[in-house]
Amino acid sequence: MIAPDDLICLKAIALLGGAFRCCVGLFAESCTGTVHQPADCSRRLISLENAHLITRTMGGDGQYVTVTAAGGEEHLRVEYAAYRRIFETHDRHYFLKGELISGLGEGRYYVGIEGYVSQFSEKLGITPYPGTFNIKLSPASIETRRKLDAMEWTEIEGFTDHDRTFGGAKALECSINGYPCAILKPGRTHYPEDIIELISEVRLRDVLGTDDGGAQVTIEVTR
């Protein structure tokens, strides 16, 4: 969890471009209310760097500071998504188009363990078929997929069973041709941004009459 003051400074870096040359004194002015002296700003930058939220390159006239994609940008996206949920109260309706591909295997792991299956049933109303439906998104749908991060996903909590720890995940309800589904996003896995994995109560390949090899499908998300 990022400290509130660190988040303010991270936002200031992003607003300045995310990759810029600055002297410590100038950057301090961008973090109004959190740091007031160059030394305070230096400590804040070190804290962000140690948390892998930024990278720094020192030079004779200052330093280059860049927000990291995996750490810093992800924290900013989470913050952005929270504010969108606060201020954008109207229903949002999205369509994702793509083609059916062979599974990556991550989702199958989740639908085969009772600690996850019970949560899918309780929180999503889905008792999943023991397999997943994997989609490679079209280029036009990749940007739409990013917008889904601003929606409120259902938390699938991690748990411990027989001294073994199982990590958490997130799920977003959706549908395909009227069949209820959920996009599953494992907490410890970084999928390519054009790949999504879905769970459903039915074997979607059967009810849709599709199989691997490029069958086109449309996923509907409304929240």
Which CATH number is 165's domain given?
A: 2.40.30.30
Whether residue 153 has pLDDT greater than 70: yes
φ and ψ at residue 222, rounded to 5 degrees: -135, 125
Helix (H, G, I), strand (E, B) or coil at 200: strand
Question: Per the structure, how many domains does the chain have?
Answer: 2
- 28 beta partners: none
**Cβ–Cβ under 8 Å, residues 143 and 193:** no
Residue 119 and residue 83 share a domain: no
Q: How many CB atoms lie within 10 A of CB 10?
A: 26
* AA identity, residue 41: C
Specify the pTM.
0.63
Residue 110 and residue 194 share a domain: yes
Whether residue 91 has pLDDT greater than 70: no
Which of 7-16, 48-57, 77-86, 142-151 is least confident?
77-86
Instruction: Please state, for a pLDDT cut of 90, what percent of the chain lies above it.
Output: 28
Query: Which residues have CB under 8 Å from 135's CB, separation 6+?
Result: 96, 98, 99, 100, 101, 195, 196, 197, 198, 217, 219
Identify the DSSP state of 153: P
Last residue of a domain, one of 87, 111, 138: 87
Whether residue 18 has pLDDT greater than 70: no
Residue 191 and residue 119 share a domain: yes
Residue-wise pLDDT for 158-189, tens only, equals 888 888 888 889 999 999 999 999 999 887 66
Q: How many CB atoms lie within 10 A of CB 51?
A: 16
φ and ψ at residue 62, rounded to 5 degrees: 140, -145
Give the domain CATH number at 26: 1.10.10.10
Last residue of a domain, one of 40, 64, 87: 87
Nearest to residue 184, comparing CAs of 221, 142, 154?
154
Residue-wise pLDDT for 24-83, tens only, equals 444 554 554 554 566 777 888 888 889 888 888 877 777 788 888 878 888 888 888 778
What is the extent of the structural domain holding 22? Answer: 4-87
Nearest to residue 198, comparing CAs of 157, 158, 159, 148?
148
- Banded model confidence at residue 220, pLDDT cuts 50, 70, 90: very high
